[in-house]
Amino acid sequence: MNAVLRFAVVAALISSAILPAAARKKPRGESATNKIDVEAAVRLQIFLDRANFSPGKLDGHYGDFTWKALALYRISRGEEPQQPPPQVKSKGNIAPDISGLDLSSVGLVFILYTVAEADLQSVGPLPSKVSAQAKLKFLPYRDAAEAIAEKFHSEVHLLEQLNPGKMKTIKAGDQIMVPNVDPFELASVKDIKPGSDVDSTPANDIEDQPEQQNGNTTKNKESSTTEPAAPPVVVKIDTKTNMVGVLQGDKLIAAYPVTIGSSHTASPIGEWKVTRITKMPTFRYDKEMLQHGKRSGNFHLLPPGPRNPVGVMWIALNRKGIGIHGTNSPDSIGHAASHGCIRLANWDVVRLATKIKPGDNVSIH
């Protein structure tokens, strides 16, 4: 079975959540008190995160997205994924089968990190009203804990567990324990390739694009050599499992958790193309457009920053106003409905952007 078909099959497998009769005994890794080994759970999450099969935010629980990421990782290796038990969504305390995984490659699960001055430069006052945000030049993190948590792909609560009493008073020079992941560097977003430079035009305010793009769209220059073309990259967004898979040819190379549109403003089912990639985008906030899909004259232009509604990256599709983008609330991934777009954590959308380019196909199903 090729990876495209297997990615579709896993949607039914994961969403069915049927536990085989032989496995209905006491689940592996679950104690009599329903407590889990947080370090063991984070070790698995780090392993998956490094492999580009993201479990979402690292929280020390064997939750829904950890099971899904592991299932897709196994599929990428030609293995059969394990079916998640029904309790996973509600409890997240049942450890999946990790046989065959070299989790020792993670090394130290938690490492000591010294907070740098640069970590705090993106922290500042953030008004709650959109009209006030539109007057700023940059939409920052609300506090240092939020900035550090995003840098290390983590839930703030996990960092609070690791650093009792420290997360509310973080200052440059402080040493804190963090998960041993490749950190998300906000300052390096501008260097992501492929992708366009910051566009002064609001990211979601471009007219519908035909499949054959004109010269104003960012494209990779064609090689003048006769080297064989690389297998095409296809992005598959599964609205049932809230996962996006990246396939190169018939090989699944990455997967990330997403939030999709609600029933009121549904993500557009069908076949689309990436038209451009905008780093640190400006966003046109139009309440009428977001709620009802109708453009109005009452809008605000929100400046770039990690707490911009579309996060740090906008991957435009050839459908006006619809794109794949980051978020100002990583806690919302998989749990809250977007306004028709496909939303990823900022650390995941940046990694996705390094794997795709304008012209690549995007399938939403």
Average pLDDT over residues 237-257: 94
- Alpha carbon distance 260, 238 (integer Å): 9
**DSSP state letters, 258-295:** -B-B-SSS----EEEEEEEEEES--EEE-HHHHHHS--
pLDDT of residue 176: 98
Spatial contact of 260 and 269, defined as CB atoms under 8 Å apart: no
Q: Which residue has the higher pLDDT, 268 or 130?
A: 130
Question: What pLDDT does residue 341 have?
Answer: 87
Distance of CA 363 to the CA centre of its chain: 17
Rounded CA-CA distance 15/242 in Å is: 10
pLDDT at 293 over 80: no
The percent helix, strand, coil of the chain (3-state, each to 5) is 25, 20, 55
Burial of residue 213 (CB within 10 Å: 0-12, 13-18, 19+) is middle
| Closest to 237 (Cα-Cα) out of 350, 362, 341 | 362
Instruction: Tell me what pLDDT residue 204 has.
Output: 60
Q: Which residue segments constitute the domains of the chain, with CATH numbers given?
A: 3-102 (no CATH), 110-179 (3.10.350), 187-211+231-364 (2.40.440.10)
Instruction: Share the mean pLDDT of the chain.
Output: 82
Give phi and psi for 301, each to the nearest 5.
-95, 115
Task: Write 117-123 long-range contacts (CB < 8 A, 24+).
Answer: 117/172, 118/187, 119/144, 119/147, 119/148, 119/151, 119/172, 120/144, 120/147, 120/170, 120/171, 120/172, 122/147, 122/186, 122/305, 122/306, 123/147
Q: Which two tokens stand for residue 328?
A: 């100002």
**Which one, of 179, 176, 181, 190, lies nearest residue 116 by Cα?**
176
pLDDT of amino acid 137: 96
Whether the pTM exceeds 0.95: the reply is no
Q: Which residue has tokens 């028709």?
A: 340
**293: buried, middle or exposed (CB in 10 Å: 19+, 13-18, 0-12)?**
middle
pLDDT at 357: 92
**Which range (189-193, 293-297, 302-306) has the least confidence?**
293-297
- Give the closest residue to 256 by CA, choosing from 175, 154, 350: 350
Task: Select the more confidently predicted residue: 33 or 100.
Answer: 100
Considering only residues 149 and 285, tell me which one the structure prediction assigns the higher pLDDT. 149
The secondary structure element, H or E, covering residue 130 is helix 130-133
Residues 15-54: pLDDT tens digits? Answer: 444 333 333 333 344 343 345 799 999 999 999 999 999 9
The structure tokens listed for 201 are 């035009």
Q: Which residue has the higher pLDDT, 89 or 95?
A: 95
Distance (Å, rounded) from C-alpha 59 to C-alpha 149? Answer: 11
| pLDDT tier, 223 (very low <50, low <70, confident <90, very high otherwise) | very low
Residue type, 342: I
CB 17 within 8 A of CB 85: yes
- For residues 159 and 113, the answer to whether their CB atoms sit within 8 Å is no
Q: Over the stretch 40-93, which tens digit does the pLDDT of each residue have?
A: 999 999 999 999 999 999 999 999 999 999 999 999 999 998 877 776 665 678
Per-residue confidence (pLDDT) for residue 93, from 0 to 100:
81
Please spell the DSSP secondary structure of 52-110, one letter per residue: TB--SSB-SS--HHHHHHHHHHHHHTTPPPPPPPTTHHHH---PPP-TT--GGGG--SE
> Which residues, 6+ apart, have CB-to-CB distance to 223 below 8 Å?
none
Strands 300-302 and 270-279: unpaired
Q: Is the pLDDT of residue 262 over 70?
A: no
Q: How far is CA 76 from the centre of its chain?
A: 18
